[in-house]
Structure 1
Amino acid sequence: MSNGSDIRHGRHCIFLMHVHLIFVTRYRREVFTKEILDDLRPMFASVCTDFEAELVEFDGEDDHVHLLVNYPPKVAVSTLVNSLKGVSSRMIRKKNYPSIRRKLWGGALWSPSYFAGSCGGAPIAVIRQYIEQQQTPH
């Protein structure tokens, strides 16, 4: 997967699916530094690879992160999110960052909720118009 916008092929399908994910820290605590965000990127990329997905883009602020993931249709977004949050939480906690140790306790890095938005391709209005213009057989 060299380019995040390439159409991909599965055994029985052709697809181009992207999801925009946002994960927020537990209690919206401001714990991330540039160093922690730099450590999170390869962790997220590795989990995506395990799911035959691709981390197209990643960045964040001190209390949340944004991911743009290109994923195959056989992957449930909720399963991908579970793995991304679980693996990253365990690995970041092992590194024992002082900002996280000071502000978070109880073994949770992430809030249990998340945002997932489908994105990519044509806007919904264009797709709706295309479908409406189909030649219905008489």
Structure 2
Amino acid sequence: MPSYSIAAHTRYIIKYHIVWIVKYRHDILVDVAISDAVNKIIREIAERYGFTIISLGTDGNHIHVFVSAPPRFSPSQIVNILKSISGRQIFQQFPEVKKRLWGGEFWGDGYYVGTVGDGTTTDIIKRYIVNQGKETDHKGFAQLKLF
């Protein structure tokens, strides 16, 4: 059975794969010190906001974040929080980076986000919804218990 997170009156499994780039696609994250700092900062921000970083990786000019967050946060809010705070902190820790990124921003505009499930496919959800209220065999459908 999947592992649910719990918040006030809510149980949830919400996971996102989020990717965004360094401004102008500069290969700033090849610098191990900066890459390590980004990793540490993102994890600290996530902890402060109640997000769970499942996995995080940088690759030269972009970052991948696999994150779970409470349902009160939209994907755009999660990205905004992580990008804005981490960008400011990186500029504070590495002032020389700000000179390379003359626009005053560490991260580029935009991002990719995709949802990730726990083995529950689109077909399973569609079948479950279609069969609601019908006498049918619901094998394979775990019933969520809120309380």
TM-score (norm 1): 0.84
Alignment of 1:44-63 (within 5 A): 44-63=42-61
Q: Quote the offset at 1:69 in angstroms.
A: 0.7
Q: Which residue of 1 aligns with 2:68?
A: 70
Query: Does 2:27 correspond to 1:30?
Result: yes
Alignment of 1:1-138 (within 5 A): 6-32=3-29, 33-96=31-94, 98=96, 100-101=97-98, 103-121=100-118, 122-136=120-134
The structure number with the bigger radius of gyration is: 2
Which blocks of at least 5 consecutive residues in structure 2 are unaligned?
136-147
Q: How many residues align?
A: 132
Of Structure 1 and Structure 2, which has the larger fraction of its residues in strand? Answer: 1
CA distance in 2, matches of 1:24, 1:118: 19
Which blocks of at least 5 consecutive residues in structure 1 are unaligned?
none
CA distance in 2, matches of 1:30, 1:102: 14
Q: Quote the offset at 1:97 in angstroms.
A: 6.1
RMSD: 1.9
CA distance in 2, matches of 1:41, 1:117: 20
Between the aligned residues of both structures, percent identity stands at 23
Runs of 4+ deviating beyond 6 Å: none
